[in-house]
A and B are shown apart, each in its own frame.
Chain A
Amino acid sequence: MECRAVISLLSDYLDDQEVWLSESDVRDITTHLGKCSKCWNVKQELDEIRVAARELPLHTPSRAVWTRISNIVEVEVPTSKRPTRVEAPDLNRWAWIKSHKFTFNLPQLAGAAAVALALLVFGVINHSNPAENRFDPAGATTAFVLPDEDQIKAELTRRLDAINARKSKWDPQMREEFERHLKMIEDSLQHSRVLLDSNPADKVQQEMVLSLYQEKRQLLDDVERLKW
């Protein structure tokens, strides 16, 4: 799921997700929030606004105010175009909104405006720099780190650097095969890492990632043993 889609559904996700969102939407949004720091920050801000708004005193407008608003709405929409229960038997979002009577106080309206502004700013930033909107697996690898993973990566990088420094002296065919097999393993490692980031608690995936590090290590072991 893309950032734009997640942001547009965040409000529903935070309010009545079981009413407005399917299970798969909720799952996709949760997964995305787990790996996208920008969307996570927006969600945190919305949460803070909601908590703050909940603590504000509630001022219900008088029945007369609501009646005046209702009258204005009815005047602006012609009778023939007004949806009825018969015409729209399914309770869609608009019908649900219309069927309810809302009461807002000034701080709540201010909070809503702040949310709207935050969404607007987020949208403008993403629109002006679409590259940042893409999912970045390299960035995602920082989201969850396996035990000793940093040491493993440092060790493999150090050894690979040493091998790369003398690779130019190798038989070209052997070198091509080494690079091809190394890339094959690294591609799989990156893919498994993305899967693990989407579900860090997945023990099987954790073992897969560690096995792939081991596979890469074995390739380097061999080359060192062959004394190239």
Chain B
Amino acid sequence: MVALMLAESALEIIERLSTAALVVLFLTAISPVAAGQQQFSKTFPVSSDQNALEVINQQGSIKVTAAAANSGKVVINARHSDGNPRVDATQTPDGKIKVEVSGRGLTDFEISVPTSTQLDLLTYKGMISVANLNAPVRARTTTEGDIKFANLHSQRVEGHSTSGNVFFDGEVLPGGEYKFKSFSGKLDLVLSTDADFRLSATSSGGVIDLGGFPLKFDRQTNQLIEAACRTGKAKVSLWTQEGNIHLHRKP
């Protein structure tokens, strides 16, 4: 009798273990690791009023979204494949976070930050996008890769690519500085119809489309335009060697 009970218990344990093993196997099968990808994830607590993030990527995209003003944390998710890249993420005592990729391979970042996070982003090759931020931002793609700024309310924005395009949709604030450059890509800016800025736009080999903004010209040649829109409170500098420049009025 006792032997029978022991046998039944053993069978029950085996059954449960099999179910657990099947669940583990299923989860493993659908995870990115099984598809040859690796995940990196890290969260840093930050003060909500002033913080900074620097990301240096070798190859791959960087997508930063300001989720909420008072989230109090920076959440970094990275997915890497190809080669053997390594992600190091550290935070200094004063709160500044530095994320750096070393080794060869593709790494794509998705990062969530408070709106007040100051950004300094670099990727050798890959796209950069930044959305909903209120703090200064600098983004650079060394070779290829577009840079997209959406819904920004920052005092200082800088986007620079060698052959990628740069797109900006946001506010130009009084006293702010907005600098966008691309050697061979195009520059597109979407500004509100009542934007107040001083413009310097240079395109050596492309066209400059001023989008119908009411400009007073200080200097105008085939390649360079310096003008003021309204009183010129913000400073907008655009430079491309071979690409086109387009200003658009926000509908």
- Find out whether the CB atom of A181 lies under 8 angstroms from the CB atom of B163: yes
A162: Cβ under 8 A from any B Cβ: no
B183's partner among A178, A184, A222, A226 (CB-CB below 8 A) is A184
Contact call B202/A219, Cβ cutoff below 8 A: no
Q: Tell me the bound Cα distance from A82 to B58 in angstroms.
A: 83
* Interface: B229 (CB within 8 A): no
- Bound complex: CA A181 to CA B242 (Å): 13
Chain A CB count within 10 A is highest, among B122, B143, B162, for: B162
A176 shortest CB reach to chain B, Å? 10
State the CA gap A4–B223 with chains docked (Å).
33
Residues of B within 8 A of A17 (CB): none
Q: Which residue of B lies closest to A192 (CB)?
A: B204
Known: A192-B204, A208-B204, A211-B239. A219 touches B142 (CB 8 A): yes
Query: What are the interface flags for B53-93 relative to A under an 8 Å C-beta threshold, 1 for contact and 0 otherwise?
Result: 00010110000000000000000000000000000000000
Q: Is residue B140 within 8 Å, beta carbon to beta carbon, of the partner chain?
A: yes
- Alpha-carbon distance between A211 and B238 when the two chains are bound, in angstroms: 11
How distant is A170 from chain B, measured CB to nearest CB, in Å?
9
The answer to whether B56 and A226 touch across the interface, beta carbons within 8 angstroms, is yes
Main secondary structure of the interface of A (DSSP, over half): helix
Nearest chain A residue, comparing its CB with the CB of B223: A204
| Total contacting residues, chain B, CB less than 8 A | 26
The minimal Cβ–Cβ distance linking B206 to chain A, given in whole angstroms, is: 13
A181, B162: Cβ atoms closer than 8 Å: yes
Interface string of B206-248 (1 = CB under 8 A from A): 0000000000000001011000000000000001011000000
Interface size on A, residues (CB 8 A): 22
Contact A184–B184 (Cβ < 8 Å): yes
Q: Which of B160-209 contact A (CB under 8 A)?
A: 160, 162-163, 181, 183-184, 202, 204
Please report the C-alpha to C-alpha distance between residue A32 and residue B89 in the assembled complex, in whole angstroms.
Answer: 58
A64 to chain B, nearest CB (A): 64
Contact, CB under 8 Å: A222 / B104 = no
B124 at the interface (CB under 8 A from A): yes
Given contact pairs A208-B223, A215-B162, A226-B56, A185 touches B143 in the complex (Cβ within 8 A): no
B125 at interface by CB-CB < 8 Å? yes
* A185 x B183 contact (CB < 8 A): yes
In the complex formed, the residue of B with least CB distance to A188 is B241
CB<8 Å pairs between A and B, sample of 23: A171-B104, A174-B125, A177-B124, A177-B144, A178-B143, A181-B163, A184-B183, A185-B162, A188-B183, A188-B241, A188-B242, A192-B204, A204-B221, A204-B223, A208-B202, A208-B223, A211-B241, A219-B142, A219-B162, A222-B142, A226-B56, A226-B122, A226-B142
